[in-house]
Amino acid sequence: MRPPLETLMETYRQNLYVAAFNVCKNAQDAEDVVQETFLQYWSQKKEFETEQHVRAWLFRVAINRAKNVNNSFFRRSSIPLEDYMDQLVFPSEEASELFEAVMKLPVKYRVVIHLFYYEDYSIQEIADILKLSQSNVKVRLSRGRAALRNTLKEAWNDDESGEV
């Protein structure tokens, strides 16, 4: 099975962009990662078993490329996350605060949280994409949730004490 590139771009471009942005924290780098991911799909004549296999392969390639961008010596100067936050639109203040809290997590927690909650991947699927054990994915999810809980609880307590 080999879906047409145009179909995959329409279906997965935005999701891959968000996953890459979660790793890179830079809009231009995330866009480059998505383009390079689709270019790799186009240049390789790999056959896939199912649509889920294609999707998982695309996410694996995008996340790995984004990690490479982060580790590169010549990484371009980036817009600070705080400046970019002004350009993003959120349905509520809580969604904006949650996004900021997630973006402050270490990459290893941020990526699994994104794949689990925003892309609806199972523990097993995340383990396959990231080449980790299921128990490692569970630990990362648990630690990421705990960090978010603490961060958001502190923010909530600060807001509560300021209004009294």
Whether residue 119 sits in one domain with residue 54: no
Q: What is the pLDDT of residue 64?
A: 96
Whether residue 72 sits in one domain with residue 40: yes
CA distances from 124 to 64, 116, 153 (A): 18, 10, 30
Q: What is the pLDDT of residue 75?
A: 60
Q: Give the best-scoring range by mean pLDDT among 25-29, 69-73, 89-93, 134-138.
A: 134-138
Whether residue 77 sits in one domain with residue 93: no
Q: What is the pLDDT of residue 161?
A: 61
Whether residue 66 sits in one domain with residue 130: no
Question: Is residue 157 packed enough to be buried (19+ CB in 10 Å), middle (13-18) or exposed (0-12)?
Answer: exposed
Q: pLDDT higher for 158 or 139?
A: 139
Cα gap 7→49, rounded to integer Å: 17
What's 102's domain CATH number? 1.10.10.10
Whether residue 129 sits in one domain with residue 64: no
Q: Which of 149, 144, 77, 136 is nearest to 117 (CA)?
A: 144
Domain boundary among 24, 47, 81: 81
What's 3's domain CATH number? 1.10.1740.10
* Mean pLDDT of the 15-22 span: 95
Q: What is the pLDDT of residue 82?
A: 61
* Token pair of 57 as six digits: 């392969």
Whether residue 102 contacts residue 148, with contact meaning beta carbons closer than 8 Å, is answered with yes
Domain boundary among 47, 81, 115: 81
The structure's pTM equals: 0.71
Provide the number of structural domains found in the chain: 2
Whether residue 128 sits in one domain with residue 104: yes
- First and final CA of the chain: distance in angstroms? 61
Whether residue 1 sits in one domain with residue 76: yes
Domain boundary among 26, 57, 81: 81
Whether residue 94 sits in one domain with residue 76: no
Whether residue 4 sits in one domain with residue 53: yes
Q: What tens digit of pLDDT does each residue of 101-115 get? A: 888 899 999 999 999
Whether residue 52 sits in one domain with residue 96: no
Q: pLDDT higher for 159 or 123?
A: 123
DSSP assignment string, 42-74: HHS----SSHHHHHHHHHHHHHHHHHHHHH-TT
Whether residue 95 sits in one domain with residue 76: no
Q: What is the pLDDT of residue 164?
A: 42
Question: Is residue 139 packed enough to be buried (19+ CB in 10 Å), middle (13-18) or exposed (0-12)?
Answer: middle
> What is the extent of the structural domain holding 56?
1-81
Q: What tens digit of pLDDT does each residue of 32-82 get? A: 999 999 999 999 988 999 999 999 999 999 999 999 998 876 565 545 566
Cα gap 119→145, rounded to integer Å: 16
Give me the phi and psi of 84, to 5 degrees please. -70, -30
Whether residue 37 sits in one domain with residue 63: yes
